[in-house]
Chain A
């Protein structure tokens, strides 16, 4: 069965620092991978997605993620975090032939000035 693990429940960084949020998935074939962001009291917004091709994916708001098949990982990165990036980040996986996304439990990002 597919699953997604986000090992870090809560991360705190200083504004301007670099960021990496971890995501590991479990799925036999090449998965479809997504990162969503959820601001407090809001719905989810797609940051980026990966289906195939270049394993380094660029997203909105300066985020990028790298698909590493050997590590079953799809970590999200940003070189310089802004205070407005404080939010909850969810990694999700989907499989060909299915119609639903499987979400991780999320990582809450706190940004200090």
Chain B
């Protein structure tokens, strides 16, 4: 059973470009969470999705950021018109039911560098 997969592992973008980060949850998991880790900081919750639904986006910046988890395919975190402050590690986690008692399994992360 493969773990949570994220790609790309490293992404370099120039200011103003778009970044697309992909996350494939563990098999059988239909709940996906995105977290952002800024340098020297802990992880900060961004968004929680189920298939085709955004459940909680309270941690998402109001502009330029969007997330989706379609019926088929991976979850996508999209950052439009990236700025240097978007440079961070973005982690995806998945769980089978979304209950907090269920372990959230984390992927290896995508490290975004904005030049």
Interface residues of A (CB under 8 A from B): 4, 6, 32, 36, 41-46, 49, 51, 90, 92, 94-96, 98-106
Contact = CB atoms under 8 A, between A and B. Distances in A.
Contacts of A6: 42
Given A100-B48, A100-B59, A32 B101 contact: yes
B43 A90 contact: yes
A105 to B, nearest CB: 4
Given A44-B91, A90-B42, A106-B42, A101 B104 contact: yes
Interface residues of B, number: 27
A49 B95 CA distance: 15
A99 B48 contact: yes
A43 B56 CA distance: 22
23 contacts: A4-B42, A6-B42, A32-B101, A41-B108, A43-B4, A43-B6, A44-B43, A44-B93, A46-B105, A51-B101, A92-B43, A95-B100, A98-B100, A99-B33, A99-B98, A99-B100, A100-B59, A101-B43, A101-B45, A101-B100, A102-B45, A105-B41, A106-B41
Interface string B1-37: 0001010000000000000000000000000010100
Interface of B: 4, 6, 33, 35, 40-45, 48, 55-56, 58-59, 91, 93, 98, 100-101, 103-109
Contacts of B107: 43
A28 to B, nearest CB: 16
Given A95-B100, A98-B100, 4 more contacts: A43-B4, A43-B108, A99-B33, A101-B104
